[in-house]
Structure 1
Amino acid sequence: MYQARTARVLQDKPPLKLWYRQPATQWLEALPVGNGHLGAMVHGGISEEVLQLNEDTLWSGEPYDTDNPDAVTHLPELRRLILEERDYVAAQELAHRMQGPYNESYQPLGYVRLKFEQRGEVQAYQRALDLNTALATVQYKAGDILFSREVFSSAADDLLVIRLTSDTPHALSLTAHLESLHPFTCAPAGSNKIRMTGRCPRHVDPDYLSTSDPVIYDHGEDGHGMRFETQLQAMVEGGRISADVDGALRVENAHAVTFFLSAATSYRGFASRPDLSAHVLEQQCTTRLAAGMSKGYEVLRAAHINDYQQLFQRVTLDLGTSDGQELPTDERLAAVQKGASDDALLALYFQYGRYLLIASSRPGTQSANLQGIWNDHVRPAWSSNYTININTQMNYWLAETCNLAECHSPLFDLLEEASVSGERTAQVYYGCRGWVAHHNMDLWRNTAPVGNGSGGPQWANWNMGGAWLCQHLWEHYAFSGDRSFLSQRAYPIMKKAAQFLLDFLVEDKQGHLTTCPSTAPENLFITESGELSGVSAGSTMDIAITHELFTHCIAASQVLDIDQGFAHELAQALARLPQPGIGSYGQLQEWNEDFAEHEPGHRHMSHLYGLYPGEQITLEKTPELLQAARKSLERRLEHGGGGTGWSQAWVSALWARLGEGDLAHEHMIQLLKYSTAANLFDLIDLQSPLIFQIDGNFGATAAIAEMLVQSHADELAILPALPHTWNEGYVRGLRARGGLEVDVEWNNGHATSVVLRAEQDGRFLLRLHQGQQPVSIKDQSGQQVPWTSERGRVVLVMQHGKNYALSFR
């Protein structure tokens, strides 16, 4: 795994804090902390502090049979309807018969409730989340007494830590409780510790299904459903503590109190029943708590900050100051929503996305799901699952560019596990080799099409999720140059995904190899008869993903000097893939035919995959397709596209790839205006009920990075989509393909300094903003480095371990 050096300069202006003058009154105002495994939403109440808890493996259900043995029997008829009859409506109906069960749901763990006994008028209240330290804080005065709280979730010690202090002796008295939305019991475990145990449902229906019994618990001692345990232990300074028989901790007249919380579940792997015993869970929690308490608060805090900053401080972004930057975060957001300019808030939002990935995705944890690791509902929106037709992928778009490669590894773990499940799905549903995954996945790595025969095939039956996810494997190699990773982890998974596609492709009437059945995720077209369907052959996104996967597998074969025969087979198939079509409006077609769109302003931009996050469409290599992609994007937006937060993030990244910095910036502002909660969580929109999806946070951070540095088109582009409003600023620590770290400073739209740190030997083409050319290039010892020009690019040969500083007039 790539290890990047820590950035040398810390950002201190404007301060990297979310802060507020009042407690949270709802979940979407609370502040998130997390270590990838254990998350909490800190509300900051005065009379009662509430921390809503999550544990990353706590899901409903257990491994289950996703097979629909009849599915493959319908495939020949489905293909006949599409390729021979062009009866897309009948194909849409038949596709329902190739669906399996719905997946399970990510679950909330519970709550810590701290109820305080204090008097006096409350003044000078402030709660904050410091992105530089990953500490959530609360501070206020009650009467003449100053009360302070500090909360963090430590990846170093796998504990949630809550520190309460006062500036007056014996001023802290409170009661601590543990609760859950699931059936639970809470009991004392000594004078300063309580234990909560419980069990999750054996099954939860998705929130969008209306059923008579959507949440099913199994209450037997040996019943189904995941067990969980949470332990809360306190260390009191200057007071007394006791544990009640009803499972509450009571603190009286203390100077300070530190709570340590650990959690465990009976999960023992995606293919195994979650049946670890209650005793094992108890021991896991007890062991973690004992280790943490033996170190003490200050040691735990220092270890947490050090661990976190090793990741976070690699990247610094300064977009200048803003008039409102001294205001609380919710007031700044409200001002932007009324039309104020605040690019410093965008810089904060960028770093918040990096913070959230660090907090929700660490080596050894589960991948960040639709809500990262933060969820307070038993039936969360879209099951808070892994939606792999855009959302899971978008979660990780920032991992490589924004210098958090280690945080990418949970996604690779998911891919390894899904490729196991996906082999059976490929055989049962399609009679193919290799592995496949459809649009939804859960902890149990269900790779079959969901829907139970009633889900819309335009989303349920899309089968390119695994192939798309393979892009992340190649990208990690492209950024790091890690041949061992490519050989041992990436290529075996990529190869099996390519094997599935080789078997799945069929010949159409034009002699092309195409995917059939095929959908463009979640969108419908209008047939010649005026009816709706989503099922056809060879959607533009399908072909783009197939082209990309085959190309990457061929490249991997060359790098590793293996599988030449397989690479040749892929190259032959690659040559027979259809080219993207350009439609009657000059737009890039979404389907293989120039169908009329049922929803021209659809939220998905699937047919633009080759522009971003792919790299098949570029100005130099495919100028006609680039213009067609631009026209498609314009048409989407003219008809109301980009209506969700994550969709706005994708639009910004697409505009960045098109070199349109002002338009990319405009849609970043739209995201803040219409899809952002008070705690800066991304929302579907501002309509009630408010629905949180974390992909927009991550996608927006990736889009901002794409505006500043790009490296996908066999060149390193510096400031390729710089908005005019970002007149001056700097970024340090972004990463580029080929093993580069990049620092850029700019003023009046031009680079004033570029520093490149090479992790690999290589020859690089540098494209600078508006055709700039450096006056000199020096290495870290101050020696001049020779360079040449090629097509207006700087050609620079770099060596591993060296730094290169470009100077400009």
Structure 2
Amino acid sequence: MTSPDNSITKDNNKLWYRTPAASWIEALPVGNGRLGAMVYGGIKNEKIRLNEDTLWSGEPKDCNNHEAINWLSKARAAVFEGRHREAIEHCKKMQGAYNQSYQPFGSLHLEFDFEQDAKDYYRELDLSRAVVLTTFRVGETVFRREVFSSHPDQVIIVRLHTSKPGSLNFEAKLSSPHPNTISQENQRSIALRGLLPSHVDPNYYDSGNSPVSYFENSGMRFTGILHAKTVGGETTATNEGVISVKNADSATLIFSADSSFNGFDKSPSRQGVDPDIEALAHLHTATLRSDNQLIEDHIKDHQSLFYRSRLTLSPSRSDVETPKRIHSYTTKNDPGLVALLYDFGRYLLIASSREGTQPAHLQGIWSMDIRPPWSDNWTLNINSTMNYWPAQSTNLSECHRPILDFIKDLSITGKETAKIHYGAKGWVAHHNTDIWKQTSPVGDFGHGAPCWSQWAFGGVWHCMDLWEYYSFTLDETFLREVAYPLMRDAAEFCLDWFVPNPDGYLVVAPSSSPENTFIRPEDGGVGEVCAGSTQDTALAWDLVTNLIWSSEHLGIDKAFRETLITFREKLLPYRIGSKGQLLEWDKEYEEHEPNHRHLSHLIGFYPGRQITPDDEPELTEAVRKSLELRGDAGTGWSMAWKVCMWARLRDGNRAADLIAQQLKLARPVKIEDACETLDAGGTYPNLFGCCPPLMIDGNFGVTSGITEMLLQSHRQVNGAYEIHLLPALPEAWPEGSITGLCARGGFEIDLSWANGRLTDVSIQSIHGSPVRIRYEDTILEQKTKKAELIKPTFGS
């Protein structure tokens, strides 16, 4: 085994470092959708933080407020009459309980007995292999570790090698912050069995009671088992839960875990599954396989998704250590870093969202805190749906499916909330939810802010995911059996939830624009709810427009379709304010936070398609003005949303400038291995997006934004989707190529460019749909055949 520097290629698929991770934001993530790990790369003490996607506090329970409906008419009257302060107080009386929190499993610790200092240290995350490598030299001996989370085998693997036979000595232990017991399973295995909290308050809320509660007869159980396979030497496992490896040539550690989770509507303590069963089954299967089989199957599975789409931008400074590369980035000196950011977003989606798993939430599947930021939940007013913006366009359709299954479950609890809170048909979801699919407005029965708790469009917005899946795949069975029924029921709620305003337009009252506020005209205080936010109307328009088309396409529900058409005609239209901006609320109020992070009123432009530059130029200009007034600064996910917006505005240079701002190295303030930052936004040394702290939607959002800069397909003309090639190519990317992008209507596209001009494009028609192909001012209309490959040409 040679010195690390002589055997490692630092290509643009890799994040690489010269020192171990000092904190979470420097550790490197691996995941198989269900099991996640953050690898620190320590020398004498390696720490690998572990997660399993069903580990949540709490149990299923009725979180609805059964008195809420008694306050609805009072809140509605107050907003219509301009009594905004009273409306806030009425809305607080409509809140339910806070939801529960995602929980860590704990950590795997490896302790080594090196007597000399390490030299030639190097660690990397290879995105193309989904493997974290750590290597260094002690004396003349080179030590090498590889960590990966295998989807085929459903285990986490740690492989340890040394260049000198018999020189591998270490102890391995499992730990957890939760009540647990640790035991020896056999001579090579240890197990940790634990209990999760029955209740956890959000990290931002002080109820006056203990924020974390454990009860023996309540809460989820979990099991983790660690097994050691070795070549040479001696291996023993003790009753104290320590695996000792002495004088080995190599070792492979296999970690398997599971929980008692048995569905969102079943108690994990009384109706749960035995977590030992699956944990032991996965472990047993993996132990029967060779090291080479384990890693080869893992890489094959990962690359079957990862290599579907590749972005190349030149030049690329891949020979520069990743933190230094981020720190020195400008739009022109390292376009390759943008390609790495694109690949990293796709990597994270593959690692955190696979068929049959829970969908990715605020931190994907990686979390180390019992009270994680914002409960590490599914925040429905932007974050959870942003996680899936790149799924279809970057050719990861299978990774989209967990959120689609999630929506089906959410609709079940959402029907109860719609009935109890509002006396409405259909289903509703609000600001936050958890693994128990809570759908009521959170706030602990009066302690939350209505500007976020009262927003009732989490279900309607997530119907966009249903439509996106169909519009890219044209899966007719999915449309008929899954998407249409869910969208129809969400529309039923809208029909009951919207009411006429004094001018006869249909609006939501009380309504909020997520998390944003205005100055109350009556007393100068902060206003949170109004009579008809722009976002509510835009989301309803999108939903009913998709339903109207689907109803006609499927040949069903004619009477309901006509009801929806009438409803859509009565929706409050967009209005433009005195500054040329799109109005956010029912009136032009003075803004409390003019630079607010949310862009809720612009949702009809992105991710929606109601407003386009070609079809609505005046409204498009109002969108542009709104973005200019908001400013570029913001949280990581907010900047990512703005990248998408400016790409839709076909301003590639502005989008590239925003990516550069997002790639600013976040300045950390280390607190017990967690990390806050001195500034909002930016990128951590491990390329995670900074909110702060980590919120993974920023990574997914910017990947989607990069895609929108290179290809757009949201516009339809005469039944054909328009594939717009290089609609927002910035000057900073004069040459490059991308393969495997997907377009609505069922198309897959490869394209390349040089000197800022399109040089080659291939479009495969998956289903034989008609298409409009656009480059600059040239539009080609073409009928296609199933599986046909199109090679359009454009003038020089």
Q: Normalising to structure 2: TM-score of the pair?
A: 0.94
2:569 corresponding residue in structure 1: 575
Within the candidate set 437, 454, 457, 2:450 is matched to 457
Partner of 1:533: 527
1:232-381 matches, within 5 Å, as: 232-275=226-269, 280-322=274-316, 324-336=317-329, 341-381=333-373
2:179 touches 2:194 (CA, 8 Å); kept in 1? yes
* Structure 1 position 51 matched with structure 2 position 42: no
Percentage of matched positions with identical amino acids: 44
Partner of residue 87, structure 1: 83
Q: Structure 2: which 5+ runs fail to align?
A: 1-8, 665-680, 717-721
SS of the residue 1:98 aligns to: coil
C-alpha contact (below 8 Å) 2:441/2:453 kept by paired residues = yes
Summarize the alignment of residues 456-535 of structure 1 with structure 2, pairs less than 5 Å apart: 456-529=449-522, 530-535=524-529
Partner of 1:699: 701
Which residue matches 2:710?
708
Report the residue type matching 2:516 in the other structure: N
CA contact (8 A) 2:10 2:318 kept: no
Q: Which amino acid aligns with 2:769?
A: G
The letter of the residue matching 1:37 is R
Counterpart amino acid of 1:176?
Answer: A
* Deviation of the 1:599 alpha carbon: 0.6
1:670 corresponds to: 661
Paired with 2:454 and 2:579, the residues of 1 have a C-alpha distance of 28
What letter is aligned with 2:164? T
Question: Given residue 151 of structure 1, which amino acid in structure 2 is its aligned partner?
Answer: V
Q: Structure 2 residue aligned with 1:795, among 764, 781, 786?
A: 781
- Confirm whether residue 763 of structure 1 aligns to residue 754 of structure 2: no
Aligned partner of 1:774 in structure 2 is none
Quote the Cα distance in structure 2 between the aligned partners of 1:219 and 1:124: 49
Bigger shift: residues 495-504 or 670-679: 670-679
Distance apart, 1:92 and its partner CA = 1.4
1:238-287 residue CA offsets vs partner (Å, 9 max, x unmatched): 11100112110000000000001100101100011012789922222111
| 1:31 alignment partner in structure 2 | 28
Paired residues for 1:138-287 under 5 Å? 138-220=134-216, 223-275=217-269, 280-287=274-281
Say yes or no: does 1:655 pair with 2:646. yes
**1:761 deviation in Å?**
1.4
Kindly indicate whether the alpha-carbon contact (under 8 Å) linking 2:412 and 2:427 is maintained by their aligned counterparts in 1. Answer: yes
Is 2:197–2:215's contact at 8 Å kept on the other side of the alignment? no
- In 1, the alpha carbon distance for the partners of 2:581 and 2:213 equals 51
RMSD: 1.4
C-alpha change, 1:745 and 1:306, in structure 2 (3 Å) is: same
How far 1:336 sits from its partner (Å)? 2.1
Question: Cα 1:642–1:429, aligned 2, differ >3 Å: closer, same or farther?
Answer: farther
Q: Tell me the alpha carbon deviations over residues 671-721 of structure 1, each in whole angstroms, 9 at most, x when there is no partner.
A: 111521100011114xxxxx1100000000000000000001121100000
Shift of 1:13: 9.5
Q: Deviations over 1:69-111 (max 9, x none)?
A: 110111111111122x221221112110110000100000010
Work out whether residues 44 and 127 of structure 1, in 8 Å CA contact, stay in contact via their aligned partners in 2.
yes
Letter in 2 for 1:374: W
**What is the aligned partner in structure 2 of residue 612 from structure 1?**
606
In structure 2, C-alpha distance between the alignment counterparts of 1:590 and 1:532, rounded to whole Å: 15
- Aligned mates of 1:552, 1:807 — CA distance in 2: 33
Deviations 1:699-751 (A, max 9, x none): 00000000000001121100000000100000110100000001110011110
Kindly provide the CA deviation profile for residues 758-787 of structure 1, in whole angstroms up to 9, marking residues without a partner as x: 11112211110x33xxxxxxxxxxxxxxxx
Does the 8 Å CA contact 2:768/2:788 hold for their aligned counterparts?
no
Is 1:636 aligned with 2:627? no
Counterpart Cα distance in 2 of 1:128 and 1:651: 30
Aligned pair 1:585/2:582, yes or no? no
Other structure's SS at 1:597 match: coil
1:806 Cα offset (Å): 2.5
Q: Residues 705 and 13 from structure 1, CA distance in 2 versus in 1: closer, same or farther, beyond 3 angstroms?
A: farther
Q: Secondary structure at the match of 1:757?
A: strand
TM-superposed CA distance for 1:214, in Å, is 3.8
- Say whether residues 1:112 and 2:112 are aligned partners: no
Distance 1:249 1:34 in 2: 24
Q: What is the rounded CA distance, in whole Å, between the counterparts of 2:77 and 2:257 in structure 1?
A: 53
Q: What's the CA shift for 1:212?
A: 3.9
Matched, 1:60 2:60: no
**Aligned-pair CA distance for 1:514:** 1.1
Q: Which residue of 2 aligns with 1:126?
A: 122
| Equivalent position SS for 1:177 | strand
Q: What is the DSSP-based 3-state SS (H/G/I as helix, E as strand, rest coil) of the residue aligned with 2:770?
A: strand
Asked if 1:739 corresponds to 2:735, the answer is: no
Opposite residue 581 of structure 1, the aligned amino acid is R
Name stretches of at least 5 consecutive residues in structure 1 with no aligned partner.
1-11, 686-690, 772-791
Q: Which residue of 2 aligns with 1:785?
A: none
Q: Which letter does structure 1 place at the counterpart of 2:212?
A: I
Shift of 1:297: 1.5
* TM-fit CA distance, 1:576: 0.6
Contact 2:647–2:705 under 8 Å retained in 1: yes
Aligned-partner residue type, residue 76 of structure 1: S
> Quick one: distance in 2 between partners of 1:276 and 1:479?
42
Give the C-alpha shift of residue 595 in structure 1: 1.2
Give the direction of change, closer, same or farther, for the CA distance of 1:561–1:737 in structure 2 (3 Å limit).
Answer: same
Matched-pair contact (CA < 8 Å) for 1:516–1:538: yes
What is the CA deviation profile of residues 104-143 of structure 1, one whole-angstrom value per residue up to 9, with x for unaligned ones? 0000001000101223331111111101110111111111
User: One-letter code of the match for 2:697?
Assistant: D
SS of equivalent to 1:189: strand
Q: Which deviations, in whole Å up to 9, do the C-alpha atoms of 1:153-192 show, x marking residues without a partner? A: 0111100011000011101010000000111111101100
Give the secondary structure class of the aligned counterpart of 1:462. Answer: coil
The answer as to whether partners of 2:266 and 2:272 remain within 8 angstroms in 1 is no
Secondary structure at the counterpart of residue 424 of structure 1: helix
| Cα pair distance change 1:737/1:206, threshold 3 Å | same
Deviations 1:174-231 (A, max 9, x none): 00000001111111011000000110110000000124444433343xx111111000
- SS of residue in 2 equivalent to 1:762: coil
Name the aligned partner's letter for residue 158 of structure 1. Q
In the alignment, is the contact (CA less than 8 A) between 2:12 and 2:336 conserved in 1?
A: no
Residues 14, 321 of structure 1: 8 Å contact kept: no
Q: What is the identity, as a one-letter code, of the residue corresponding to 2:648? A: R
Measured after TM superposition, the shift of residue 63 of structure 1 is 0.5
SS of the aligned residue for 2:783 comes to: strand
CA contact (8 A) 1:602 1:642 kept: no
The residue number in structure 2 matching 1:546 is: 540
**Whole-angstrom distance in 1 between the partners of 2:273 and 2:588:** 61
CA–CA separation in structure 1 for the residues paired with 2:118 and 2:743:
50
How far the C-alpha of 1:620 sits from its partner, in A, is: 1.7
Written as runs of structure 1 = structure 2, the 5 A alignment for 1:424-443 is: 424-443=416-435
Cα deviation, 1:53-74, whole Å, max 9, x if unaligned, reads 0000000001021121110111
The letter of the residue matching 2:791 is A
Contact 2:332 2:732 survives alignment (8 Å): no
- Cα deviation per residue 1:570-600 (whole Å; 9 max; x = unaligned)? 0110111111110010100001211111111
Residue type of the partner of 1:437?
A
Report the AA paired with residue 742 of structure 2: R
- Equivalent position amino acid for 2:696 in 1: I
Does structure 1 retain, via aligned residues, the 8 Å contact 2:10–2:319? no
Q: Which amino acid aligns with 1:765?
A: R
